[in-house]
């Protein structure tokens, strides 16, 4: 193979805030790239959740492990990074008179905005906080994830309160979730001294609350579909109740860092360390489910035609051409701000050398999940004669090849 690179846009991804470009000149905006990144990682997260369910069939056990890890992991960040709590309080404009852990609502509100999960804070007080989301990209993953995100917020709240301890303690509880069929995602935090409820286990942070009569339900016609930072009526600024402001640039790096896998992968690592699962079991389950999910992505002709239009691929690039898969990967890598080099890009082979750390996102099995997801995609987007695999990766890099390959044990 010549490893020649056919005529295409320059291979450099670029730096800073830029639109995403396909190899054939099709561009999508920074805004759409951020949304695409969230959609893509949510699909991969949904596949990994199915692997998790195979590995840990019991809902309670699975949810308990996810919640424990989420709380401990966020607490670790606050406790082990010097000055993080103070820095976080300053960024969110937590005023000195704010006492207790209700200020955690500010953390969740700003984080939702960065993750393009738009909605509103309906209540923000010392004894009660209510956040309502109209859009949640993670709604296809599973209610176990809903529970664990509630515990990550609880950890942020509890640890943020350590520098302002003389105030009431409130308990964060998910009440509604879009993935469960509700119109909104809704978290309500209540002070148990003022609003008592029976004690419950950590994973039971999704269900009834004491102040259901105070819920403010937003009607369909008043719901929003875009974060404040991308809305003209908000002057393209996110602004919270403490006059903190940020613009569209804050969507990155959050959309690349936080997704369902960033909750599940560390939990699976915990279960391996505890001897409840083995590396081999986890790798096998992720391999099988992600490969199947990838194959399902482009199995229909209209899906293939849709991706060709989105990429702007010319008719000179036939249906059975690995460059289609390559172009699709480039759009994702650029949306993730993950740098890569193009070693070959022609009708016979496509080779990329990808920054492994940028793709891995500090999750030990993330690259493994992506590789099998992309392998499956290649089989349906191009055809079954084509494959995608890792080959001769330099240190710190992921070198993947897309080409025809015969494998009797595939």
3-state DSSP call for residue 206?
strand
Contacts of 350 (CB under 8 A, 6+ apart): 322, 323, 325, 326, 344, 401, 402, 403
Tracing tokens 């993080």 back to the chain, one arrives at: 84
Query: In residues, how long is the chain?
Result: 410
User: Where does 20-41+277-404 sit in CATH, by number?
Assistant: 3.30.1380
Helix-helix angle 84-91:59-80, to 10 degrees: 90
| DSSP H stretches of helix in 227-365 | 251-257, 261-273, 279-297, 301-311, 322-335, 356-360
Buried-state track 256-275, b at ≥16 Cβ within 10 A, e below 16: bebbbbbbbbbbbbbbbeee
| pLDDT, tens digit only, all 410 positions of the chain | 445 665 554 444 334 456 799 999 999 988 999 999 999 999 999 999 999 999 999 999 999 999 999 999 999 988 888 888 888 888 888 887 888 888 888 888 999 999 999 999 999 988 999 999 999 999 999 999 999 999 999 999 999 888 877 888 999 999 999 999 999 999 999 999 999 999 999 999 999 999 999 999 999 999 999 999 999 999 999 998 888 899 888 888 889 999 999 999 999 999 999 999 999 999 999 999 999 999 999 999 999 999 999 999 998 999 899 999 999 999 999 999 999 999 999 999 999 999 999 999 999 899 999 999 999 999 999 999 999 999 999 999 999 999 999 999 98
| Distance (Å, whole) CA 367 – CA 12 | 22
**Cα–Cα dist 194/231, whole Å:** 38
- Residue 204 tokens, joined: 């039971």
- Enumerate residues 6+ apart whose C-beta is below 8 A from 398: 353, 354, 355, 356, 359, 367, 371, 390
Task: Give the residue extent of every domain in the chain.
Answer: 20-41+277-404, 57-243
Q: Phi and psi dihedrals of 309, rounded to 5?
A: -65, -45
Spacing of C-alpha 153 from chain mean position: 16
């Amino acid at each position: 193979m010549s490893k020649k690179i056919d005529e295409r846009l320059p291979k450099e991804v670029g730096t800073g805030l830029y639109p995403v470009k396909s190899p054939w000149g099709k561009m999508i905006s920074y805004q759409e790239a951020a949304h695409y990144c969230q959609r893509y990682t949510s699909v991969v997260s949904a596949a990994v959740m199915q692997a998790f369910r195979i590995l840990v069939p019991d809902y309670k056990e699975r949810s308990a492990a996810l919640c424990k890890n989420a709380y401990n992991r966020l607490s670790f960040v606050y406790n082990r990074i010097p000055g993080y709590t103070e820095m976080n309080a300053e960024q969110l404009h937590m005023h000195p008179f704010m006492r207790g852990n209700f200020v955690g609502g500010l953390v969740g509100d700003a984080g939702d905005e960065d993750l393009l999960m738009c909605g509103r804070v309906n209540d923000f007080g010392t004894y009660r906080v209510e956040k309502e989301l109209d859009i949640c990209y993670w709604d296809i993953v599973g209610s176990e994830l809903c529970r664990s995100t509630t515990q990550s917020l609880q950890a942020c709240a509890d640890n943020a309160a350590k520098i302002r301890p003389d105030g009431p303690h409130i308990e964060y509880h998910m009440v509604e979730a879009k993935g469960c069929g509700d119109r909104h995602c809704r978290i309500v935090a209540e002070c148990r001294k003022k609003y008592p409820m029976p004690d419950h286990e950590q994973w039971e942070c999704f269900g009834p609350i004491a102040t259901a009569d105070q819920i403010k339900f937003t009607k369909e016609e008043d719901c929003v579909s875009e974060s404040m930072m991308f809305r003209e009526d908000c002057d393209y600024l996110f602004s919270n109740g403490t006059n903190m402001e940020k613009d569209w640039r804050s969507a990155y790096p959050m959309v690349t860092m936080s997704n369902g896998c960033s909750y599940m992968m560390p939990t699976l690592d915990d279960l391996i360390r505890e001897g409840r699962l083995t590396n081999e079991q986890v790798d096998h389950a992720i391999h099988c489910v992600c490969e199947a999910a990838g194959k399902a992505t482009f199995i229909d002709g209209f899906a293939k035609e849709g991706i060709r239009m989105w990429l702007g691929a010319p008719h000179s690039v036939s249906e059975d051409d690995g460059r289609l898969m390559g172009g699709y990967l480039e759009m994702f890598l650029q949306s993730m701000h993950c740098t890569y080099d193009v070693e070959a890009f022609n009708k016979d082979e496509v080779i990329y050398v990808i920054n492994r750390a940028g793709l891995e996102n500090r999750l030990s099995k993330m690259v493994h999940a992506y590789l099998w997801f992309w392998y499956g995609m290649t089989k349906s987007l191009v055809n079954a004669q084509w494959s995608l695999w890792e080959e001769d990766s330099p240190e710190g890099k992921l070198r993947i090849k897309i080409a025809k390959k015969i494998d009797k044990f595939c």
